[in-house]
């Protein structure tokens, strides 16, 4: 098992190098450069040239890439062109709100979505099923920015019990977590339902029933562990996505998350922040994927055996 984890971690290196090449190429080949945005419209050609020289933008792309790669390996992502703060410091600062938000909304999504899905499947074709399905459909179709603004109107203006935006206290996390979690909750509910419906018809469930096991035990031991595999996949993907920052939720609630940081950096052509940010994101996503794969092993002994064998 440990060997498997080690191998997966080792595999991260080529992935990250690949990502770094891609992002480096994309951002440098896109028109416009940081000298223009930094100096603004009244800069002369000479000012621009001097700044480019200083920022090392006049070197060939290969040289620039390898400088970036070698420095990154040393843990030095450079300084932001826009704010002059160290990139790593800025990334970690802005990662905290995104991580906290992702954990809260994922918890909410699972706590609400999973039971909703189970309930719908157990009472298939009853009003409860319809209700659960409708809730899921609604949660899936409501645009985040709209829901965010509506919640703000409701809980900050009409019934002023929650702060409308910002970051720093737990109250400020509630609405964004609900907005962000609603969509994932819907996906998890639907996934759980369909997966449940499939599993309850399996032979081993029938056998368990025939053995006379009580239905709670059948549900938790035999059904849910098998239902969870596709659910974990979906939740993992969504969680990874959330970690990269969810620009719309962050913007609507004015949360200083990593998504807004990267978007602003792209607009400003802040190369070091974009490169560092995307690499960081790729790294997190890979770790989440690894985590999901390990969860599979926990849920399914067959997969565990496979990992052992490989």
Q: Does residue 143 touch other proteins according to CB under 8 A?
A: no
Please state, in angstroms and rounded to a whole number, the distance separating the CA atoms of residues 9 and 143: 36
Q: Does residue 36 touch other proteins according to CB under 8 A?
A: yes
Burial category of 225 from C-beta neighbours within 10 Å (exposed 0-12, middle 13-18, buried 19 and up): middle
Torsion of CA 27, 290, 117, 215, to 10 degrees: 180
* Minimum distance of other proteins from residue 259's CB (angstroms): 10
Contacts to other proteins from residues 172-231, by CB under 8 A? none
Tokens encoding 150: 């509506």
Q: Does residue 40 touch other proteins according to CB under 8 A?
A: yes
Binding mask 72-111 for other proteins (x = CB under 8 A): -------x--xxxx----x--xx-----------------
DSSP E strands, 67-116 = none
Q: Does residue 153 touch other proteins according to CB under 8 A?
A: yes
Q: Does residue 112 touch other proteins according to CB under 8 A?
A: no
Please state, in angstroms and rounded to a whole number, the distance separating the CA atoms of residues 154 and 174: 13
Please say which residue, 113 or 176, places its beta carbon nearer to other proteins. 176
* 86 three-state secondary structure: strand
Torsion of CA 67, 69, 70, 72, to 10 degrees: 110
* Minimum distance of other proteins from residue 125's CB (angstroms): 41
Please state, in angstroms and rounded to a whole number, the distance separating the CA atoms of residues 168 and 196: 39
Q: Which of 32, 75, 212, 310 binds other proteins (CB under 8 A)?
A: 32
Q: Does residue 51 touch other proteins according to CB under 8 A?
A: yes
Q: Which of 65, 140, 268, 283 binds other proteins (CB under 8 A)?
A: 268
* Whole-number CA gyration radius for the chain: 24
Please state, in angstroms and rounded to a whole number, the distance separating the CA atoms of residues 304 and 226: 14
Q: Which stretch binds other proteins (CB under 8 A): 66-74, 145-153, 195-203, 213-221?
A: 145-153
Question: Which residues contribute to the site for other proteins (CB under 8 A)?
Answer: 30-34, 36-45, 47, 50-51, 54, 79, 82-85, 90, 93-94, 149, 152-153, 156-157, 160, 163-168, 251-257, 260-261, 264, 267-269
């Amino acid at each position: 098992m440990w060997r498997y984890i080690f191998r997966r971690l080792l595999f991260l290196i080529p992935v990250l190098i690949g990502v770094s090449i891609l992002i480096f190429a994309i951002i440098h080949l896109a028109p416009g450069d940081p000298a223009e945005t930094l100096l603004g419209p009244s800069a002369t050609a000479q000012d621009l040239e001097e700044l480019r020289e200083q920022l090392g933008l006049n070197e060939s792309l290969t040289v620039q890439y390898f400088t970036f790669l070698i420095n990154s390996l040393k843990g030095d992502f450079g300084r932001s062109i826009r704010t002059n703060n160290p990139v790593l410091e800025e990334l970690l600062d802005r990662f905290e709100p995104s991580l906290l938000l992702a954990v809260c909304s994922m918890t909410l999504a699972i706590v609400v979505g999973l039971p909703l899905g189970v309930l719908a499947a157990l009472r298939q074709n009853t009003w409860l099923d319809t209700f659960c399905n409708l809730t899921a459909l609604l949660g899936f179709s409501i645009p985040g920015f709209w829901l965010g603004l509506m919640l703000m109107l409701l809980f900050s203006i009409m019934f002023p019990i929650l702060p409308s935006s910002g970051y720093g206290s737990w109250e400020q996390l509630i609405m964004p977590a609900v907005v962000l979690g609603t969509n994932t909750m819907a996906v998890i509910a639907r996934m759980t339902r369909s997966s449940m419906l499939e599993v309850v018809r399996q032979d081993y469930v029938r056998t368990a029933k025939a053995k006379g096991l009580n239905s709670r035990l059948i549900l938790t031991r035999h059904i849910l562990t098998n239902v969870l595999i596709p659910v974990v996949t979906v939740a993992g993907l969504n969680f990874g996505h959330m970690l990269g920052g969810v620009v719309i939720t962050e913007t609507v609630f004015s949360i200083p998350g990593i998504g807004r940081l990267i978007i602003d950096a792209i607009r400003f052509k802040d190369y070091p922040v974009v490169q560092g940010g995307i690499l960081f994101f790729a790294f997190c996503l890979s770790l989440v994927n690894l985590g999901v794969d390990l969860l599979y092993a926990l849920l399914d002994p067959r997969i565990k055996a496979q990992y052992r064998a490989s």
